[in-house]
Structure 1
């Protein structure tokens, strides 16, 4: 298992190299639903650009390819928030060393630019543009045998979304839903006692404001059960608070500048720097793959629910 996590750490760091904190946490996100078998018809609800799911399913990208190949980094500033990654240019092209082991039948997201990127993966048989705040979801009753979603907490009324996910799940079908709790941003609340409001704003990037669906474990359990699901398993996705503290700060405050600097490099120079960069963070983060647990389910910031209809 450690060998598998180390491989995923390297692959995710190669993908997210300018945001290495994302490279650190994504192996744990992948591990949390490693036992979910994608049986057809299958759905990745809020698939984004699909890159995370591709690596989860065994893909390895060429070293030259990464998450930062098409961004709006030059348009970002801390007083003018934009989604850096809501961008797609005609030169965006995904290069594989190894393709994902399977294909997923449907991927959906609310941003067309992300779906355009996902289409380049050839991972999803069909892509659907849809905002999950708009219910019902555009799928038939009792249709999907397998559903994965890591974003039910982004909507204003997650309980209604979970109920509709139940509607589109076939009898006996399995769902893996990842959800946030109020413990997600604990380090930001701690830092508010010592940092200025401006500094906190730089670190926060309006994340707390834009995640309305934070709920405690007991509330999420009630939502899943009220929808009709049987709870098969609940996991804390991240074992230790230090992982969340690193992620909550990381290189996020300067990522738009790092992206612009890397964009200004010639391809050969960029690749050389990236390779050394990834190796450094791999050595820094590798010991954290076996770090002990500091979270219980009750105070975990991020939970993975395995559900059955």
Structure 2
């Protein structure tokens, strides 16, 4: 009986789910887990994130081609419809699902990890690696991380939103080579993809469309500003509101400028250390 962790990744979805999957797998220590990614490229890079076993499977429907009936699965994706989810609950002996939807409902034969929900068989928590809670000197006034994906080059289309603020810029994973070079020329200071942790921990203010980066920035003691992309889920808006994290929509620069000018007056709420809570919940659910 094997344990698998499926995560939705790709050039149209980014790496937010992947980053938290790696956080969970690292925190589980010596538990033997195979990470299944819907993108072969990031599966090949998973070892650099502390994950020894990773396989690209292209689409979620290929999970049964890897796993066997009775295996165990941690599932982090919004791809599956209710019928597919029910099939998974019947196929796997243990099914743990990670959800960001505040209107979600825990179903029979599954366990749930959620920032919104609580109750029997539910772990109310968000996934943030413990390393981001280690306070370090903030040496960069302002950083910008659009996200790991920009297939439509929306970042370039909306450069006027941020460019004259002269932020340090974090490059993403799924950018085209010529696109990366253009962005390096447009920003005076750039963090490479491999310098993501340094960017999070060094930045006093982080402007980002990545929900995971926002949470990690907040944990590090910074003052994050979330930019809601049109092509991204809105599931985090209520949660960010509960943490007093300001949100900018539709690339409204006047809203961004106003937030930055008054950011020291914003009472950001602190995120909790929940890694051990999540690890204990998963181990108990998997009967480890």
**More RCO (CA 8 Å, sep 6+):** 1
